[in-house]
């Protein structure tokens, strides 16, 4: 793996750390799943920006961005892209599947209970 790839490889964090960073330290939890997945359920504090519409220019540079998807694959791609654009991005390992399995809240818009699609 070349120097460029190592430099832009994001840290992988677990759901508990992602939750702590986003609720206590001001990190942005960025959900990069598709609209239907988001509608079914997401973390209450998450912001939605599908991977296909990912735009680093619309994201903060002054705080950590934690990318999340369903399983951790798409969010890993998102975090790598964001890091290459100068954003301090992390990837949440296991995605929303791991988030829900950890007992963390999953909601739909409006705050009603949601599910991971």
Of 61, 63, 75, 68, which is closest to residue 46 (Cα–Cα)? 68
* β-strand partners of 65: 28, 89
From the list 13, 28, 69, 116, the catalytic residue is 69
Half-sphere exposure of 69 (CA within 13 A, CB side): 19
Residue 115 neighbours by CB distance under 10 Å: 11
d(CA 106, CA 85): 30
69 is catalytic: yes
Phi, psi of 91 (to 5 degrees): -110, 130
Q: Which two tokens stand for residue 63?
A: 């705080």
| Residues with catalytic roles | 69
């Amino acid at each position: 793996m070349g120097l460029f790839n190592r430099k832009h490889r994001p840290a992988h964090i677990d759901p508990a750390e992602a939750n702590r960073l986003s609720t206590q330290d001001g990190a942005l939890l960025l959900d990069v799943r598709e609209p239907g997945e988001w509608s079914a359920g997401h973390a209450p504090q998450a912001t939605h920006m599908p991977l296909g519409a990912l735009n680093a220019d619309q994201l903060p540079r002054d705080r950590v961005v934690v990318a999340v998807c369903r399983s951790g694959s798409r969010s890993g791609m998102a975090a790598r892209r964001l890091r290459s654009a100068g954003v301090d991005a992390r990837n949440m390992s296991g995605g929303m599947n791991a988030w829900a399995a950890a007992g963390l809240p999953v909601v739909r818009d409006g705050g009603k209970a949601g599910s991971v699609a």
